[in-house]
Structure 1
């Protein structure tokens, strides 16, 4: 196996910056615009930032955990880094594409690697209609919000909102409500990965709602569509013994 050239990026913490300095002193690194692999030092937040930053290059990202939450990261070790990169297994993900229309008619597009979430902006509960592939599935959901999560994102905000953990190979998206009031017993749905989800905001002047795709927030939305964008590849690298599929399965058996 040939060793790929790699560049280093680090989160803005002392631990990550110190790790970057040690690795740069130890290994020959490439220019970040010409490297074959990006090594990200930090937690899952940095991994999301790095994937978004290099989304147009589709360059593989190999994360090493120097943060608090490192579900998408490999274990931090300074030994044999080039050999680990050469042996790493690639996982290709596709982000969600959000198209939002505001109450004033403005339009915005954004990509989400973890989830697209709709949240109420005021003390009033949101009222949201839900359609799947053009078919109205729920006339009105009264809630604090709702999200569409990817398999990779199903262990993040989706999990904290009591949504299901979705294995990568399942080709599914999690549709998860947040603090449902009506219908009281509805806990969400699993959808085919190619489904298009449309949210219509009811009483938007009285009950304003924002839509957020990872880091991009659009306020006062009237209509939001979400679908998986198969034209965009996100490539992550994992040590064979710590692949992402195994982590997602393992997470479901945590106490």
Structure 2
């Protein structure tokens, strides 16, 4: 990164984020994402994920600052510090998203990326019946549940952790497979898998027990089969202040009581 990097400031729709963007742009200049050296989203984790989905293919490092409700993937917003100095000292965290391919009842297919998780959820009052294959081999013949998800390490502290899934260390080259309110098999609590594992969810009774799938915030309804694998083509780099980097945050989550 250059000594005086070209920064693209992006902001959520909140008043606080928009005001911060105006102040930052006036102080440091503002560039289009395509022409910038670094992207600086201002908002919460939802806006960070939105930024990664929109601009992750540009290969630009991303230094987010929290001006939203949840900011696990963000740095603290401090308008009195030198942002250029913070960028020079920032530590990188390299993330690979999940690639999701879903087949629907109508025969259409849809693909999406997920930097946090891909979750299957029942659409009605009736529990979902889902079969699970790993690398083409059946591992769970029938999971009766509210749903099931696959999470990246960066996303393992979010929905996955709330569902009693494991927190995965950053750089562990693993993904988490976690059932949501499982009824049968009652004692199964999920698995930690190698990151290159291909996970296939098969909806066993899609007409009586319809299921949707959500990749981060992108939902597809009435799916019959969903395949998930870690992307080998896409990687994003998030930048964090050294005193509170992403690896430390993920570790600290395991010691909160």
Give me the TM-score of the superposition, normalised by structure 1: 0.97
The one of 218, 223, 240 aligned to 2:225: 223
Question: Counterpart of 2:39?
Answer: 38
The one of 94, 106, 124 aligned to 2:126: 124
User: Where do 1:32-71 residues align within 5 Å?
Assistant: 32-71=33-72
- The reply to whether residue 7 of structure 1 matches residue 8 of structure 2 is yes
Give me the TM-score of the superposition, normalised by structure 2: 0.96
Question: Counterpart of 1:87?
Answer: 89
Report if the CA contact (8 A) 1:3-1:85 is conserved: no
Report if the CA contact (8 A) 1:3-1:83 is conserved: no
Secondary structure of residue in 2 paired with 1:68: coil
5+ unaligned residues in a row in structure 1: which ranges?
none
5+ unaligned residues in a row in structure 2: which ranges?
none
User: Where do 1:65-214 residues align within 5 Å?
Assistant: 65-78=66-79, 79-214=81-216
The more displaced of 99-108 and 192-201 is 99-108
Per the TM alignment, residue 14 of structure 1 is displaced from its structure 2 partner at its CA by 1.3
**CA RMSD, aligned part only?**
1.1
Cα distance in structure 2, aligned partners of 1:96 and 1:30: 29
The more displaced of 31-40 and 142-151 is 31-40
| Cα shift readout 1:216-252 (whole Å, capped 9, x = no counterpart) | 2111111111000011011111111111111100111
Question: Counterpart of 1:17?
Answer: 18
Report if the CA contact (8 A) 1:177-1:188 is conserved: yes
The more displaced of 2-11 and 194-203 is 2-11
What stretches of structure 1 move > 6 A for 4+ residues in a row? none
The total of aligned residue pairs comes to 255
Question: Counterpart of 1:238?
Answer: 240
